[in-house]
Amino acid sequence: MPWFYEPYHDISAIGIHITELRHHEQSAFQDIKVYDTVGHGRLLLLDDMVMLTELDEFVYHDLITHIPLCVHAAPRQVLVVGGGDGGTVREVLKHPGVERVVLCEIDERVTRVCQRWIPSVAGHLDDPRVELVFSDAVDYVRSHAGTFDAALVDSSEPIGLAAGLFAGSFFADLRQALRPGGVISAQTESPFYAAATVRAVFNELRGVFREVHGYIGNIPTYPGGCWTFALASDDRSPATLDERRAQALRCNYFNPAIARAAFALPEFTRRLVDPA
Residues with catalytic function? 154
Phi, psi of 171 (to 5 degrees): -65, -35
Gap between the Cα atoms of 87 and 125, Å rounded:
9
- What is the DSSP code (8-state) at residue 158? S
Residues 6+ apart with CB under 8 A from 175: 182, 184, 208, 209, 234
- What is the DSSP code (8-state) at residue 120? H
| Cβ burial 208-238 (10 Å sphere, 16+ → b, else e) | bbebbbbbbbebebbbbebbbbbbbbeebbb
